[in-house]
Amino acid sequence: MENFSCRISVMIRILLVVSLYFLDFGFLREVTSLGINYGQLGDNLLPPEKVLDLLSSLRLTRARIYDTNPQILTAFANSNVELIVTVENEMLAQLMDQEQALQWVNSHIKPYFPATRITGIAVGNEIITGADTTGLTANLVPAMVSIHGALAQLGLDSHIHVSTPNSLAVLAESYPPSAGSFKTEVYETMSQVLKFLSSTKAPFWINAYPYFAYKDNPNKISLDYVLFNPNSGMVDPYTHLHYDNMLYAQVDAVSFAIARMGYSGIEIRVSETGWPSKGDPSEVGATMENAAAYNRNLMRRQLQNEGTPWSPNMRLEVYLFALFNEDLKPGQTSERNYGLYRPDGTMCYNVGPFALSSSTTSTSTSTSTSTSTSTSISLTSSATKVKP
């Protein structure tokens, strides 16, 4: 009887260790601080129902789309996926009007909520860049105010926040993070945006791509630093905080820029970040190995619900770009190769926990083989990634 009890005790301990192992790698729990961008500029993409299955297999419960596609909103009903929808840039002028905004919310949001868990509305994408040639900037905040007013009128404002994704190009300085500041030409609009976000308790969305900084200056920026690989990192000379990756440094630079505008307490979320698996000859670093390393390492960080060095107790919410390679996008080769998956649902490369928790076939198991030995690290980024 004593031997039997010992065997039972040993078995329980083994099961507990195995369970904790799987929990640690996210196979049995959902990645609550990680979402993914679900773009649709691709040929022969999986139908939304299959995409929902794909997200479930990845254990992702957050996604962002670049419109209010009714097929997607219908397919995602009664699922556990929280969805950020987008107001297309060309709609801003129309939605400045309160009545038009109310009509838009009544037709694009209300019929699907709450069955479809819409949690946010992104008004435009990278509108404030400092080089507005279309007049969209002047329409941005009025459209945000009108849409929020429409949500409030329908009793949805406490469930759905309104914000706008920004390019990192709105920053004049990003190195060191404590020197973060906005460009003077965006001050007026940014002040209005921050005032709105502060009053509505909505997050500030930033599209941050360490890839662009590395591509523009590969001789001075450590590849390991931008890929989250082990490295010596850098120390901010003013805050004395240590940074072991560029993404967190970019986010904290935004935090300081917002503080310099007189606002605090606004949560910063990364609406886009990613790494292309293929690029033109001029696009240094756009390889499958680097893409796999960046996304794999980022996912590991997100599994730990980390914050940045400046805000260690605030879990950083990140949306990976992107779910699919979008072969209909214009521009350089990299623009069509940010996806974890091809349009047919096969994996572009193995990203560890995602691959292991997915039944989709992987075509590559390559890992990062960074050879960079540079110790000079710059955080200044010229990222100007713009979606069509």
Give the catalytic positions in this structure: 126, 272
Q: How far apart are the first and last CA of the chain?
A: 71
Tokens 């796999």 sit on residue: 292
In our burial notation (b when 16+ CB lie closer than 10 A, e otherwise), range 324-344 reads: bbbbebeeeebbbbbbbbbbe
Q: Give the amino acid at 361.
A: T
**Count of CB atoms situated within 10 Å of the CB of 158:** 9
Taking the CA atoms of the chain, what radius of gyration do you get in angstroms?
A: 22
**Count of CB atoms situated within 10 Å of the CB of 6:** 10
Closest alpha carbon to 156 in 104, 204, 89: 104
Instruction: Quote the CA–CA distance of 296 and 98 in Å, as a whole number.
Output: 44
Do 347 and 340 form a contact (C-beta atoms < 8 A)? yes
**Count of CB atoms situated within 10 Å of the CB of 39:** 22
* CA 318 vs CA 182, 191, 270, 302: distances in Å: 21, 24, 5, 8
Do 128 and 140 form a contact (C-beta atoms < 8 A)? yes
What is residue 222's three-state secondary structure?
Answer: coil
Question: How many CA atoms are closer than 13 Å to the CA of 99, on its beta-carbon side?
Answer: 0
| Burial zone of 387 (CB within 10 Å; 0-12 exposed, 13-18 middle, 19+ buried) | buried
> Which residues are 34's β-sheet partners?
318
Instruction: Quote the CA–CA distance of 230 and 1 in Å, as a whole number.
Output: 51
Do 251 and 381 form a contact (C-beta atoms < 8 A)? no
